[in-house]
Amino acid sequence: MPLFLDDDQSMLLDSAREFIKSEGPVSHFREFRDKNCKDGFSHALWKQFAEMGFTGILVSEEDGGLGLGHVEAGIVLEQVGRNLTPSPFLTTAIAGVAALNHAGAELKGQYLPGILSGDTVLGLAIDEKSKHRPDQIAMAAERSGNGFKLTGKKQFVIHGASADMLIVAARTSGSEGNADGLTVFAVPKHAANMDVAPVRLVDSAVAAHVTFNGVDVNADSVIGEVDQGGAVLDVLLTAGRIGSAAEMVGVGGGAMDITVNYLKERKQFGQYIGEFQALQHRASHLYSEMEIARAAVLKAQQLLDEGSGNAPLYVHVAKAKAGRTANLAVREGVQMHGGVGMTDEYDIGLYMKRDRALNEFFGDANYHANKVAELHGY
């Protein structure tokens, strides 16, 4: 398979680019930010995502979706990133659906139709500390009656207060650090003894701190197998990591493009600042890094869709490279904009904020570079 988009994928790119630019541009982001609404995203736009078929990309045809892969998911996500579109797309339709694909028929039937129609939103309750450490999950799920009782704290649960269901990773056996003994649960909203405290983040997304004070869930709410949730969590995190990497390629690419345009417009000392070699070389270096990051992300997506054994390595590479590169793009972007780069009026600062959040989401570049070292045995 050549390492570029095929004809069908190129068509999807065209329609995603046009749709998101028209329906979810940066002005849409600003509108929802300034409204200060509790969800931080537009439910109407989420419906439109569903009408476009986007929410069904990773849902099998058998379950009513499109049965496509991570390349297609990434095509949409890159456009989401480029336009800073506030959307539950990554958490719900990508990472959430990847996990639900491993659920039994009943859970699927409960949640997939709502995702396909753009009614349902999922939250991911994985992280327990400020840094992403999914191998150190401590939250307890103790057997209780016919089900389990959940006790512990989660944070960085994006859209947690708006979500119809939270996907929760908890420990049913073993101790912190063990690979076995994790179980993944689907916890409906308004569950008793669950405290959800929303907090607005730097990029205006609304995340929640969720405290489980002995939340009862029944046995049917287990996604996958009891004690074998590590496999489900892996699939969820992999989808989230490659998805957020694709979104960061969009954020970095968008930041680079508006910066290059600014270099062509802004005059100082009687000439366009883009004529100064000091800035040209930095912009060209950024271009080079963006091309590399984009290729690494596409490579990882293709390997995942092929089911290649190399996919896990490349997903870490993609998240690390996209993270560093998008970060370079927004830092260079603000600096090259000069004073106006510090203003709320110009968009470049919004890209910087979004990049910061996406870099942390599903593990930052250091986390993933460390994984690359571990996979290579050093």
CA atoms within 13 A on the CB side of 260: 15
Q: Taking CB under 8 A as the rule, does residue 219 contact another protein? A: no
Q: How far is the CB of 350 from another protein (least distance, A)?
A: 22
Closest CA to 312 of 246, 374, 364: 374
Closest CA to 65 of 19, 111, 28: 111
**Part in contact with another protein (CB under 8 A); list of ranges 30-38, 63-71, 108-116, 369-377:** 369-377
Q: How far is the CB of 131 from another protein (least distance, A)?
A: 16
Q: Taking CB under 8 A as the rule, does residue 362 contact another protein? A: no
**Part in contact with another protein (CB under 8 A); list of ranges 21-29, 43-51, 69-77, 370-378:** 370-378
Q: Considering beta carbons, is residue 80 or 317 the nearer one to another protein? A: 317
Q: How far is the CB of 242 from another protein (least distance, A)?
A: 13
Which residues from 270-329 bind another protein, rule CB under 8 A?
271-272, 274-275, 277, 280-281, 283-285, 287-289, 291-296, 298-299, 313-314, 316-318, 320-321, 324
Q: Taking CB under 8 A as the rule, does residue 376 contact another protein? A: yes
Number of residues that bind another protein (CB under 8 A): 45
Which strand (E) or helix (H) includes residue 377? none
φ, ψ (nearest 5 deg) of residue 284:
-70, -40
Q: How far is the CB of 129 from another protein (least distance, A)?
A: 20
Closest CA to 150 of 186, 177, 121: 186
Q: Taking CB under 8 A as the rule, does residue 378 contact another protein? A: yes
The whole-angstrom separation of Cα 363 and Cα 195 is 25
Q: Considering beta carbons, is residue 125 or 303 the nearer one to another protein? A: 303
Closest CA to 222 of 174, 186, 168: 186
The whole-angstrom separation of Cα 320 and Cα 333 is 20
Q: How far is the CB of 264 from another protein (least distance, A)?
A: 6
Q: Considering beta carbons, is residue 146 or 277 the nearer one to another protein? A: 277
Q: How far is the CB of 293 from another protein (least distance, A)?
A: 7
**Part in contact with another protein (CB under 8 A); list of ranges 67-75, 77-85, 259-267, 331-339:** 259-267
The whole-angstrom separation of Cα 128 and Cα 155 is 6
Q: How far is the CB of 353 from another protein (least distance, A)?
A: 24
Angle formed at CA 52 by CA 61 and CA 113, multiple of 5 degrees: 50
Q: How far is the CB of 7 from another protein (least distance, A)?
A: 12
Q: Taking CB under 8 A as the rule, does residue 77 contact another protein? A: no
Which strand (E) or helix (H) includes residue 290? helix 277-306
Q: Taking CB under 8 A as the rule, does residue 10 contact another protein? A: no
Q: Taking CB under 8 A as the rule, does residue 246 contact another protein? A: no
Q: Considering beta carbons, is residue 11 or 373 the nearer one to another protein? A: 373
The whole-angstrom separation of Cα 75 and Cα 157 is 24
The whole-angstrom separation of Cα 338 and Cα 176 is 47
Angle formed at CA 235 by CA 10 and CA 86, multiple of 5 degrees: 55
CA atoms within 13 A on the CB side of 227: 6
The whole-angstrom separation of Cα 332 and Cα 321 is 16
Side chain identity at 320, as an amino acid letter?
A: A
Closest CA to 86 of 315, 350, 363: 350
Which residues from 104-143 bind another protein, rule CB under 8 A?
none
Q: How far is the CB of 332 from another protein (least distance, A)?
A: 13
Burial class of 318 by CB neighbour count within 10 A (0 to 12, 13 to 18, 19+): buried
The whole-angstrom separation of Cα 159 and Cα 121 is 8
Q: How far is the CB of 176 from another protein (least distance, A)?
A: 17
Q: Considering beta carbons, is residue 263 or 348 the nearer one to another protein? A: 263
Which residues from 45-74 bind another protein, rule CB under 8 A?
none
List of residues contacting another protein (CB under 8 A)? 2-4, 260, 263-264, 271-272, 274-275, 277, 280-281, 283-285, 287-289, 291-296, 298-299, 313-314, 316-318, 320-321, 324, 365-366, 368-370, 372-373, 376-378
